[in-house]
Amino acid sequence: NWLKKVVIGYNLCPFAEKPLRENKLKVVVVRGDDDEWVATTVVYELIARSNDENPGTTVVVAPEYHPDDFEQYMSLVQYIEDDVMEENELHGIVQVAPFHPLFEFSGSGKEGVDNFTNRSPYPIFHILRENEVAGAVDKLGGDASKVWGRNVRLLKSMEKRWGREGVEKAMRGEKMDGMDDLLKEIKLSGHRYD
């Protein structure tokens, strides 16, 4: 529901609608906070997505995996990226995009509104195929920063209109009066990409 309302509804990821529409978006829920169990689940899905016969994207949702500890969550992301993906020769084939309730970009500080681009209701490991990401970026003229810039402008406009509390509500998927108008004002050329 959050994916549909927020990620697709606000066009935060203009490439997300197509996999959902084509039934190429897999959602896996892994329970518990055991590092090995969560890592095994994520790695299994990384390997599955690395197969050319398995296009699309996977979202591994880990509700109990340190939702109140971003650093602990990122330690596992780093371990998967630096050790496990290297060992399984997955770099250049798939990638993990991290999302967390307390996501914080280095240099942004806890209160940076840009952090909301990667905040989610639960810890999430978003598995993407590199060739599909490259194809989508090509449709932006090779400039992935256009999506980032648009999203930050949207979040800053939300904060200006509704304050920090309004941003938080909107990013939880709560209905905000005037959101449709704001989305029309802050749009990415081409809107969605197929």
pLDDT tens per residue, range 16-66: 777 888 888 899 999 999 999 999 999 999 999 998 888 888 999 999 999
In the prediction, which pLDDT does 193 show?
37
Rg (CA), the chain: 17
- What are the residues whose beta carbons fall under 8 Å from the beta carbon of 74, sequence distance 6 or more? 98, 100
Q: Is residue 190 scored above 60 in pLDDT?
A: no
Which pLDDT score is estimated for 194?
37
Answer yes or no: are the C-beta atoms of 42 and 58 closer than 8 Å: no
Give pLDDT, residue 11: 84
pTM for the model: 0.88
Q: What is the pLDDT of residue 84?
A: 93
Burial-class residue 121 by CB neighbours within 10 Å (0-12, 13-18, 19+).
Answer: middle
Average pLDDT over residues 152-160: 94
In the structure, what pLDDT confidence band is assigned to residue 192 with cuts at 50, 70 and 90?
Answer: very low
C-alpha closest to that of 64 among 31, 18, 112: 31
Query: What is residue 88's predicted lDDT score, i.e. its pLDDT?
Result: 93
Q: Is the pLDDT of residue 191 over 70?
A: no
User: Tell me: the pLDDT tens digits for 73-119?
Assistant: 999 999 999 999 999 999 999 999 999 999 999 888 888 999 999 99
Helix (H, G, I), strand (E, B) or coil at 192: coil
The pLDDT tens digits of the residues spanning 2-30 come to 988 998 888 888 777 778 888 888 999 99
